[in-house]
Structure 1
Amino acid sequence: MLIYAGKKLLQMLVTLFGVVTLVFFAMRLIPGDAASVMAGENLSGAALERMREQLGLNEPLWAQYLDFMGNLLRFDFGQTITTNLPVSKLLLSALPITITIAVCTIALAVLIAIPLGTLAAYMANKGKRWLDNALTWVAMVLDLMPSFWMALLLMLLFSLTLKWLPATGPIQFDDMGLLLKRLALPIVILAIGQVATLARIARTSVLEVLNEDYIRASRALGASEMLVVFRHGLRNALLPIITVVGLSFGNLLNGTVITEFIFALPGAGTLLVNGINSRDYPLVQVVILVYAFIFIAVNLLTDLVYKKFDPRVQF
């Protein structure tokens, strides 16, 4: 396992290097730069060039790239161009919000989707297709709904009409009640799409296992249906579900970008959107690097967890 983990870590470093390089050059292909965005229509010509020189944007592209990579190797994330604040400080204040939303979303989705998908597979195995068909149709409808449209719809219902949950406001980790109310809508919106996907995967995986010979043997030996379905069936069907859960966590980082922007949450997604709009190259590059690191690390952890749930897995 150590050799396998070492190979994966090496692949992670290569992937992160590719992500950083791609983002660095892609950002500079966008028309305009931080100086032109900050100056607007007030500066032009020589004054604009002096501002670019002050911000270090007039250096050759290769020199900027080498300077950024050198700072990155020293774990020096630099400062934002527009506000001159340390990027690391902004990330440390924003990442807890994004990670809290992602973890709570995955937990809620798993608690709902896996029992629902398992029940649908059991009903289909018994020839009772109504719940199976209902789950399939609901999952398809939920997958087709855009998250931003659902966010606006639930905001209109629960925030503006019923006034149960706030759509905006401060984030306070010392008050769990207020924090849960503030993050409830974003978590529910993100979890709806994850529930649809996880339930379908759980249903397909468990249904395939329930047709195996050892399941029939367990029933013939007099084991209860709950024991057969959840201990023998679900446990042996967990590998595809674990894979999707790991991928879903990474995809949630993308989903939180839109959701945080809609609900005015000061998370990493909001930092990314503001950085792109202001052409703040250091901020965008570091945020995407952190996103890529979390995504790769979660997938590595998912691979290592396989052995825990299925001893047959060989690295």
Structure 2
Amino acid sequence: MLSYAIKRVMQLIVTMFGVVTLVFFAIRMIPGDPAAAMAGDNLSGAALEEFRQRLGLDAPLWQQYTDYIQSVARFDFGSTITTSLPIAGLMLKALPITLMVAGLTVLLSVLIAIPLGTLAAFLANKGKKKLDNAITWTAMVVDLMPAFWTALLLMLFLSLNLRLLPASGTVSLEDPMLMLKRIALPVLVLAISQVATLARITRTAVLEVLNEDYVRTARSLGMSEIAVVFRHALKNAMLPIITVVGLSFGNLLNGTVIVEFIFSIPGIGTLLVYGINSRDYPLVQNVILFYAFVFVAINFITDIIYKKVDPRVQF
């Protein structure tokens, strides 16, 4: 286990080095002068050249790359172009809000989707196709709904018509109850698609093990169907479910970009949109790098959890 963890950490470092390299060159492959794009129509001539020097864009590409690698290794992400504020500080301020939205979304999705998917598998195993098909097709239709459309629909229904949940307002960690009420609608929007995906995966995984020998043995011993399905079938079908949950958390951080922007949530996604709109390339570059790191780290944690859930897994 320890040797595998060390090996995966080394792979993580190599992967992140490749991501840093890709992000660096992708930003600089954008057509045109990056300095002129960031400055817009505000600077020209000598002022633009001075701005280019301040960004280090006048140096050779290899030197820019070396300096960037060194700054990332020191966790020195520099400052934004538009506000001159430290990028690391802005990200640390926005990170708890994004993690709270993503974490609550995953929790809500798991609490709803896993029992729902297990129920669908049980119904299919018992030959009750109509109920199983109703759950499965509903999940597929919901999964196809775009997040922005769902957000606007729920905003219209729950906020404007019923006035149950706020669609805008101050977001502060100092008041937990107000914070939960404020992010409830974004969490609900994100959870809807996650529930649909996770429920379908759970159904497939549980259905595959319901005809295994140990399940038939548990039934022959007189165990209740609830105990057989949830204690035996679901437990042994958890590996693909864990994979989807881990990937869902990583994807949620990307999905929060649209939802945070729609609901004016000051998280990492809103920070990325602001950087794109203001052509603040250093900010965009480092936020993308953060998303990539989180996604790789979650995959690493998921692999480690495999062994804890199922000791039969061989690394």
Partner of 1:141: 141
- RMSD after superposition: 1.6
The CA deviation at 1:38 is: 5.5
Q: Would the aligned equivalents of 1:106 and 1:245 in 2 still touch at CA under 8 Å?
A: yes
Partner of 1:68: 68
5+ residue gaps in structure 1?
Answer: none
Partner of 1:235: 235
- Percent of aligned positions that are identical: 69
Q: Would the aligned equivalents of 1:34 and 1:81 in 2 still touch at CA under 8 Å?
A: no
> 1 CA distance for matches of 2:85 and 2:33?
18
Alignment of 1:1-315 (within 5 A): 1-31=1-31, 35-37=35-37, 39-315=39-315
The AA in structure 1 aligned to 2:260 is: E
> 1 CA distance for matches of 2:105 and 2:270?
18
CA gap of 1:47–1:21, structure 2 versus 1, over 3 A, is same
The CA deviation at 1:21 is: 0.9
The CA deviation at 1:33 is: 5.7
User: SS at the partner of 1:245?
Assistant: helix
1:65-121 residue CA offsets vs partner (Å, 9 max, x unmatched): 211111112222221222111111101101101111111000000000000000111
> 2 CA distance for matches of 1:289 and 1:272?
11
Question: TM-score, with normalisation over the residues of structure 1?
Answer: 0.95
> 2 CA distance for matches of 1:197 and 1:282?
35
Q: Would the aligned equivalents of 2:38 and 2:279 in 1 still touch at CA under 8 Å?
A: no
Q: Would the aligned equivalents of 1:34 and 1:82 in 2 still touch at CA under 8 Å?
A: no
The AA in structure 1 aligned to 2:167 is: A
5+ residue gaps in structure 2?
Answer: none
CA gap of 1:42–1:214, structure 2 versus 1, over 3 A, is closer
Q: Would the aligned equivalents of 2:109 and 2:191 in 1 still touch at CA under 8 Å?
A: yes
The CA deviation at 1:299 is: 1.2
Question: TM-score, with normalisation over the residues of structure 2?
Answer: 0.95
User: SS at the partner of 2:223?
Assistant: coil
The CA deviation at 1:192 is: 0.6
CA gap of 1:52–1:112, structure 2 versus 1, over 3 A, is same
1:206-243 residue CA offsets vs partner (Å, 9 max, x unmatched): 11111112211111111111111110111111111011
Q: Would the aligned equivalents of 2:120 and 2:136 in 1 still touch at CA under 8 Å?
A: no
The CA deviation at 1:54 is: 3.4
